[in-house]
Structure 1
Amino acid sequence: MSIQAINVRNQFRGKVAAIIEGPVVSEVDVETPAGIVTSVITTRSIRDLGLTLGSEVVALVKATEVSIAKL
C-alpha cells in the first residue's frame, strides 16, 4: 500500500534521532528542520514500520486540542 494523498497539513520531514522503547508504547524523537518532534506510538508499530536510528520519516501532526500555560 502506498499513500497517494493525505489531509494532514502539519508535516515535518526528518530522521529518527532516538527511540526509547517500552513494553507497550515507545517514544520516537524525530529531528526536523523545525526542531525535535516526539511521538508516542506502540512498540509494535516501531517493529512493523522497521524504524531504526536514522530512518527517514514524516511526522504528521493533527491536534484536536492545544493547551497553553502562562509563564
Structure 2
Amino acid sequence: MGVSDDTVRRWVDSGVLTATKDPSGRSAVDGAELADLARRQASTPRDSSGVARSARNSFAGLVTSVIEDRVMAQVELQCGPYRVVSLMSSEAVRELGLEPGSVATAVVKATTVIVETSGGKAS
C-alpha cells in the first residue's frame, strides 16, 4: 500500500487493522483484511518492480480477490481508486503466488480502445 511500518503500527493501535502473532512471534496482518482496507483507502502504491516496459498503462496495487477453478482464475486488484480485473490461468495464479493482500502490478497494452457515450450525435 506504499506506507511505512510505523503507519501500519498506528493502524493496528487505532483498530483500523488487526494484528496477530505469527509462529515466530512477529506481528502479522491478515492479507484479506489489508485488501479490504486498500479498497476503502484507494491510494495508488508506487510501482517498485524496477521493470522497464513498453506498455504505458501499468497500475501497481493490492490483490483484493482471487476466484479460481481447475483451469481459469479471476484476479481483482485495487490500484488506487481503480479496480482492475484480470482473467488468467489458475496455473499462473499459483506460479505468481497471487492471493488477497499480495502486491502486484497490472500491465495493460491494448490495440483497441472502445469509447462509448450516453447517446447523442457528434456534429
TM-score over 0.5 (shorter chain): yes
2:72 is the counterpart of 1:47: no
Q: Distance in 2 between matches of 1:64 and 1:37?
A: 18
Partner of 2:112: 65
- CA distances 1:21-40 after superposition (whole Å, capped 9, x unpaired): 02211100000113110000
Partner of 1:13: 60
Match for 1:15: what amino acid? L
Q: Distance in 2 between matches of 1:32 and 1:18?
A: 13
Give the gaps of 5 or more residues in structure 1: none
Comparing both structures, which one devotes a greater share of its residues to helix?
Answer: 2
Greater mean deviation of Cα atoms: 47-56 or 59-68: 59-68
Q: Distance in 2 between matches of 1:14 and 1:43?
A: 20
The size of the alignment, in residue pairs, is 70
Percent of aligned pairs with the same amino acid: 36
Question: Max radius of gyration: which structure?
Answer: 2
Comparing both structures, which one devotes a greater share of its residues to strand?
Answer: 1
Give the gaps of 5 or more residues in structure 2: 1-48, 119-123
Where does structure 1 differ by over 6 angstroms across 4 or more consecutive aligned residues?
none
Greater mean deviation of Cα atoms: 2-11 or 21-30: 2-11
Partner of 2:85: 38
Q: Distance in 1 between matches of 2:76 and 2:64?
A: 5
Q: Distance in 2 between matches of 1:25 and 1:3?
A: 28
TM-score (norm 2): 0.51
